[in-house]
């Protein structure tokens, strides 16, 4: 019975935190909505109000983007052939854990057309949990490593570090 009482208390605490998060982001505090909001704040993305299923927003230059937040990097990516121009992926650690904390240890920016073309050339299917080779993840990393193809400002790096697993 003590476990039931403790779980009930923790759920009430979680509900209070979720309500506070919802008040901040003005959306349900689910992982996808939180990731979209964080990415919009850090990268200046204009989120779509009622966008297409594969487009979450647009960068300042007009390129469309689909934003994903995966609590663990396992080299899988949800893709669409008729998708956006870019995939912006926030991830937690690469190492599997029993508890997957909501952290951002790395950020990747994929050119959607290039990733889809590479998978099709290898005869792989495009869809949910598409297997993307590690070298493509490495090439797309924009945080914490510096990537000259998409340099981040010091402020962007500081904001992302707020969500890091590291102290």
Taking the C-alpha atoms of residue 73 and residue 83, their distance in angstroms, rounded to an integer, is 21
All domains of the chain in start order, with CATH: 30-161 (3.40.210)
What integer pLDDT is reported at residue 125 of this predicted model?
A: 87
**How many alpha carbons lie under 13 Å from residue 77 in its C-beta half-sphere?**
31
DSSP state of 133: -
Predicted TM-score of the model (pTM): 0.92
Does residue 12 surpass a pLDDT of 70? Answer: yes
Helix H or strand E segment including 66:
strand 64-70
Tell me the per-residue pLDDT of 51-60, one tens digit each, with 9 for 90 and over.
567 899 999 9
User: Widest CA span of the chain, in angstroms?
Assistant: 57
pLDDT (mean) for 15-38: 95
Average pLDDT over residues 116-123: 92
């Amino acid at each position: 019975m003590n476990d039931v009482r403790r779980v009930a208390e923790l759920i009430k605490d979680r509900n209070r935190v979720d309500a506070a998060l919802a008040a901040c982001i003005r959306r349900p505090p689910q992982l996808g909505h939180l990731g979209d909001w964080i990415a919009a704040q850090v990268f200046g993305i204009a989120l779509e109000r009622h966008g297409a299923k594969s487009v979450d927003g647009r960068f300042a230059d007009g390129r469309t983007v689909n934003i994903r937040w995966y609590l663990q990097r396992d080299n899988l990516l949800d893709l669409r052939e008729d998708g956006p121009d870019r995939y912006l992926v926030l991830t937690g650690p690469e190492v599997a854990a029993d508890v997957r904390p909501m952290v951002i240890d790395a950020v990747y920016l994929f050119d959607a057309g290039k990733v889809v073309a590479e998978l099709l050339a290898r005869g792989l299917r495009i869809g949910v949990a598409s297997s993307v080779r590690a070298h493509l993840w490495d090439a797309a990393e924009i945080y914490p490593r510096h990537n000259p193809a998409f340099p981040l400002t010091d402020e962007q790096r500081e904001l992302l570090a707020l969500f890091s697993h590291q102290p």
